[in-house]
Amino acid sequence: MELLTTNNVWMMICTALVFFMHTGFAFLEIGLTRQKNTINILFKNIFIITVGLLLYYIGGFNLMYPGFAEGSAGVLDFAGFGITPPENGMTAAYADGGYTWWTDFLFQGMFAATAATIVSGAVAERMKIGSFMIFTVLYVGLVYPIAGSWKWGGGFLDQMGFYDFAGSTLVHSVGGWAALVAVWLLGSRIGKFKNGIAQAIPGHNIPLATAGVLILWLGWFGFNGGSVLSADPELTSLTLVTTCLAAAAGGVVAALVSFLKYKNLDLTMFLNGILGGLVGITAGADVMTPESAIIIGAIAGTIIVFAVAFVDTIKLDDPVGAIAVHLICGIWGTLAVGLFSTNPEHTFLIQLTGVACYAAFCIITSFLIIFTLKKTIGIRVSEKEELEGLDSHEHGMDAYSDFRLNEH
C-alpha cells in the first residue's frame, strides 16, 4: 500500500505538471502573435482544457482504453460512457500498483486536450472561434481517443510492436497533422506573403513566449516522467535526463544552424529548437542513452530551422511554428526509436508503419471536419475582422485595455 501511495503521488504531481503546460502553450502562442488577437488565443486555450476534460469524461477515456477483446482487430471499441471505476480501481491490483483509476483518468485527460492546443497556434489570427470550437469538440472527443487506442489502448499498432512512450506521434503528430490541414484550408494571414515571398509578422511579446517555452520544458518533466506510469526510480530519473539533454541540444543546435544560415542570433528559433528537442525525445525517452538523446535533440534542432523555412516556401502560414515543431519533429522522434532504442524489438519499419497509419487517419478526419465547416459556416474571419483584430470583433474586449499599439 505504501508503494501504491508513493507511485500515485508521483503520478498526480506529473498530472499537475502536464496541466501547467497549458499555461506554457498559451504564453507561447500569444507571445508569438499580435496583441490584437491575444484574448482570442487565450479563450481558445481555456476552451480546449475545460471542454477536453469533460469530453474525456463523457466517452473519450473509454474510447481510448476500451479493453479490446482477444482476437479483436484493435481498431475501434468503446467501453461505455462515464468513468465508473472497476472493483480493483483503487488498489495495487490496478495498473500494477502504479496509480489508481482516478489518477489514470486525470493524467490521460491532460494529454487529450494538447492535440487541439497545437492546432490553435497554427491557425492563430484568422480562424473563426465558433468553427475552432466545433473542430475541438470533434477532434478531441473522437479522433484523438480512437487514434490513442491503437497504441496506448492495446490496439493493432501496439500488438504490432509500434512504440511511442509519451506521444511524439500519439499527441504531437496527431495535433500536427490537423494543424497542417487547417493551415492549408485556411490560407495565410493578410500580408504574410508579398510577391510570393514570406514576410515576418513579429509577435508582440517575445519575453512572454520565452516564459512559455520554459514552462513547457518544466511541464515535460510530467509529460515524459509521468509516462513511466509509476515512480520507478531508475526509469523516471533516466527519462528526465534524456528529456532535458534532448531539449538542450535541440535549442543550442537550432540557434547555431540558424546563425550559420541567416547570420543572426534568432531567439524564436532557439526557443523552437528546445521544443523540437522535447518533441523528438518524447517517443523514446525511456529507451535512450543520454548520448542518443543528445543526438536526437541535435537533429531535431537542425530540422526545425529547415522545416520552418520549408513551410514558408510552400506558402503555408504557421504563426508559431507548430507544424515544424510538433509534426515534423514528432515524426523524427518516432522514427528515432527504430534507430536508437536500447530495445532491439523496436524496429524502424514498424515505427514508419505507425507514422503512416496516424498520418492517413488524422489527415482524412481533420480534412473532413474542417472542409465541412468551411463549406457550411465558414472557417475564416472577414478581412475587416482580421485587420482590426479578433479580440474586438469576436470577444468585445482588449487584452491590454490601457495600452494599444498601432498595428496593421
Angle between helices 348-376 and 129-138 (to 10 degrees): 140
Rounded-to-integer distance, Cα 1 and Cα 184, Å: 52
The domains of the chain are located at 2-395
pLDDT averaged over the chain? 96
Binned at pLDDT 50, 70 and 90, residue 408 comes out as very low
The single-letter code of the amino acid at 338 is G
> What's the whole-number mean pLDDT along residues 359-363?
98
H or E segment at 182?
A: helix 174-186
Alpha-carbon 275 to chain mean position: 10
* Residue 316 grid cell: 503555408
102-105 contact pairs (CB < 8 A, 24+): 103/8, 103/11, 103/12, 103/15, 105/56, 105/57, 105/61
- Whether residue 405 has pLDDT greater than 80: no
Tell me the HSE value of 357 on the side-chain side, using a 13 A CA sphere.
22
The single-letter code of the amino acid at 37 is N
- Whether residue 103 has pLDDT greater than 60: yes
- Whether residue 148 has pLDDT greater than 70: yes
> What's the whole-number mean pLDDT along residues 156-168?
97
Rounded-to-integer distance, Cα 351 and Cα 271, Å: 27
* Residue 398 grid cell: 482588449
- Tell me if residue 404 falls in helix, strand or coil: coil
Rounded-to-integer distance, Cα 97 and Cα 156, Å: 25
Residue 193 backbone dihedrals phi, psi, to 5 degrees? -120, 125
Q: What does the pLDDT read at residue 115? A: 82
- pTM greater than the 0.85 cutoff: yes
- Whether residue 349 has pLDDT greater than 70: yes
List Cα–Cα distances, 331 to 159, 168, 175, 355, in angstroms: 20, 7, 12, 7
Q: What does the pLDDT read at residue 71? A: 85
Binned at pLDDT 50, 70 and 90, residue 404 comes out as low
Q: What is the pLDDT of residues 171-205, one digit of tens each?
A: 999 999 999 999 999 999 999 999 889 999 999 99
Contact 122, 374 (CB under 8 A): no
Binned at pLDDT 50, 70 and 90, residue 401 comes out as confident
The single-letter code of the amino acid at 111 is F
Binned at pLDDT 50, 70 and 90, residue 403 comes out as low
* Residue 221 grid cell: 518533466
Rounded-to-integer distance, Cα 401 and Cα 16, Å: 32
Percent of the chain clearing pLDDT 70 (strictly above): 98
- Whether residue 45 has pLDDT greater than 70: yes
Q: Tell me which residue has cell 490513442.
A: 148
The single-letter code of the amino acid at 169 is T
CATH number of 2-395: 1.10.3430.10
